[in-house]
Amino acid sequence: MTAAGTMTAALVLAGRRNEQDPLLERHPGLPSKALLPVAGEPMVRRVLAALGERPVWISGLSAEEAGADIRSAPPAPGPAGAVLAAVEAGAPLPLLVTTADHALLDAEMVAEFEDKARASGADLCVGLAERSVIEARFPQTRRTYLRFADARVSGCNLFYVGNEKGLEGVRFWQRAERDRKKPWRLARRIGPSVLLRYVAGRLTLDGLFAHASHRLNASIRPVLMSRAEAAVDVDKPSDLDLVEAVLGGRA
For residues 102-122, average pLDDT: 97
In the chain, where the domains are located: 4-245
Instruction: Say yes or no to pLDDT of 205 above 90.
Output: yes
pLDDT surpasses 60 at 3: no
Report pLDDT digits (tens) over 53-95: 999 999 999 999 998 999 999 999 999 999 999 999 999 999 9
* Rounded percentage of the chain residues whose pLDDT exceeds 90: 73
Q: 148-152, 189-193, 231-235: which has the minimum mean pLDDT?
A: 189-193
Contacts of 29 (CB under 8 A, 6+ apart): none
Predicted confidence (pLDDT) at residue 124 exceeds the cutoff of 60? yes
Query: What pLDDT, on a 0 to 100 scale, did the predictor assign at position 177?
Result: 78
Cut 0.85: pTM above it: yes
Closest alpha carbon to 53 in 118, 115, 8, 13: 8
For the segment 114-140, the average pLDDT, to the nearest whole number, is: 97
Which of 32-36, 56-60, 102-106 is predicted with the least confidence, judged by mean pLDDT?
Answer: 32-36
Taking a C-beta distance cutoff of 8 angstroms, is the pair 117, 220 a contact?
no
Angle at alpha carbon of residue 208, lines to 172 and 137, rounded to 5°? 105
Q: How confident is the model at residue 212 (pLDDT cuts 50, 70, 90)?
A: very high
Could you tell me the pLDDT band of residue 4, with boundaries at 50, 70 and 90? very low
Per CATH, which fold does 4-245 belong to?
Spore Coat Polysaccharide Biosynthesis Protein SpsA; Chain A (3.90.550)
Q: Give pLDDT, residue 1.
A: 41
Q: How far apart are CA 173 and CA 176, in angstroms?
A: 5
Spacing of C-alpha 226 from chain mean position: 16
Residue 167: band (very low, low, confident or very high) from pLDDT cuts 50, 70, 90: very high
What does the pLDDT look like over 36-53, one tens digit per residue?
Answer: 999 999 999 999 999 999
